[in-house]
Structure 1
Amino acid sequence: MNLKITGLNFDVTEAIKNHVTEKLERINCHAANVISVTVTLSVEKVNQKAEADVHLAGKDLHVEAVEQDMYAAINVLMDKLDRAVLKHKEKSGDVRGSKPEVVEE
């Protein structure tokens, strides 16, 4: 997995890089087909914004979160990203025609 962390109007520190990579481990557990992740962190007046573009095999996901604190924005972003990856995983698994269950009476 390729990881790129950038900051707009914001200096990305080692602590923030470590926090992002630690949170991305959970995403890697749920989806092994992650090709690359681009995380963009920005400051807009009072709000802290975190965005992620995830390139999966066959799908691109874009998720963003805006909070008052950068660490809170990263946490919310990773929660949203986790839900999006799980949803994509469920949808892609259902495509190949699962057989209907036979109920015996």
Structure 2
Amino acid sequence: MIDIQSQNFSVTEAMKTHTEEKLQPMIRNYGDRIINVHVHLSDENGPKGGEAQHCLIHVELQKMPTVVIEDSEENLYAAIDNCCHRAERAVRKAMEKKQTLSRKPAEI
């Protein structure tokens, strides 16, 4: 269900574990409606430093648009944390919006 890929470096076991742990609340709460979660990690500037650590998350939902969240930070773990938190919030809002729309009576 969770696919983690990287560009310009190898994903360490610690990065993989950290990312999966940060995604667990979202999967625990909405896993029955999530098809796949794709995480793309990259280091845009390489050894030059700066706000170059990038995390991009695609959450594919059943019968709903894909949620796409991205964040860049100096620290990759901070980018992962921010992205995972924002992804969970976006998925929750999408679910709430779908519930609200399904409760409204059809307009004639």
TM-score (norm 2): 0.85
Residue 96 of structure 1: SS of its match in structure 2? helix
Shift of 1:96: 2.0
The alignment status of 1:74 with 2:74, answered yes or no, reads: no
Could you tell me how far 1:82 is from its partner in structure 2? Answer: 1.2
- Structure 2: runs of 5 or more not aligned: none
Which 4+ stretches in 1 moved above 4 angstroms? Answer: none
Unpaired runs of 5+ residues, structure 1, are: 100-105
- Identical positions, percent: 34
Larger Rg: 1
Q: TM-score, normalised on structure 1?
A: 0.87
Q: Contact (CA 8 Å) 1:30, 1:85: kept in 2 or not?
A: no
Give the structure 1 partner of residue 54 of structure 2.
49
CA-based RMSD of the aligned residues comes to 1.3
CA-CA distance at 1:65 after TM superposition: 0.6
The question of 1:65 aligning with 2:71 is answered: yes
Give the structure with the higher percent helix. Answer: 2
User: Which residue number in structure 2 is paired with residue 6 of structure 1?
Assistant: 5
Cα drift, residue 98 of structure 1? 5.0
Q: How much has 1:3 moved relative to structure 2?
A: 1.3
Greater strand share, 1 or 2?
Answer: 1
On the 8 A contact 2:39/2:55 being kept in 1, the answer is yes
- The letter of the residue matching 1:79 is H
